[in-house]
Amino acid sequence: MPLLKCSLRTNLSVRESPNNSLLKSVSAAKMQRLIADSHLNDIELGTHWTRRWTDFSLSVRSLQRLDQYTEINESFSPESNRTFSTAQNTGESILRAVLRYDSHSDISVEGGGEAVYN
């Protein structure tokens, strides 16, 4: 069918980046242990849709990205134990559309718009 003549491409990316460390600080009077743990997870989904007519083409791109970062720092000593933790979730959404007119091989006219949400 002529209405369905289009191309669609998608891309999915998932990444996990753990970082663990154990530090020991030893002095003559006391022993102290520090543990640092950080974790970064992100996922990204992108699409690109294109539809061509006789002299016109419409291209729509979208991108959704989600990030999660956590960090935990712990300190253990004979006198006290301390824990510090933080968590952060971020994201970004982008939608872009471009309409292109190609009547001649040397000249083309494009117009479009983009919306972004963070």
> How does strand 6-26 pair with strand 31-52?
antiparallel
Q: For the residues of 73-88, what is the DSSP string, one character each?
A: EEEE-SS-EEEEEEEE
Q: Distance between CA atoms of 47 and 11, rounded to whole angstroms?
A: 6
* pTM assigned to the model: 0.69
DSSP 8-state secondary structure symbol assigned to residue 28 = S
- Alpha helix positions (H), the chain: none
What's the pLDDT tens digit per position in 12-35? 999 988 777 766 565 545 667 777
- Expressed in angstroms, the distance from the first to the final Cα of the chain is 38
**Which one of 4-8, 57-61, 78-82 scores highest in mean pLDDT?**
57-61
Which residues, listed in sequence order, are joined to residue 54 by a DSSP beta bridge?
A: none
Report the pLDDT value the prediction gives residue 64, as an integer from 0 to 100: 96
pLDDT tens profile 74-118: 887 777 888 888 999 999 999 999 999 987 778 889 999 999 998
Instruction: Tell me the pLDDT band of 1, cut-offs 50, 70 and 90.
Output: very low
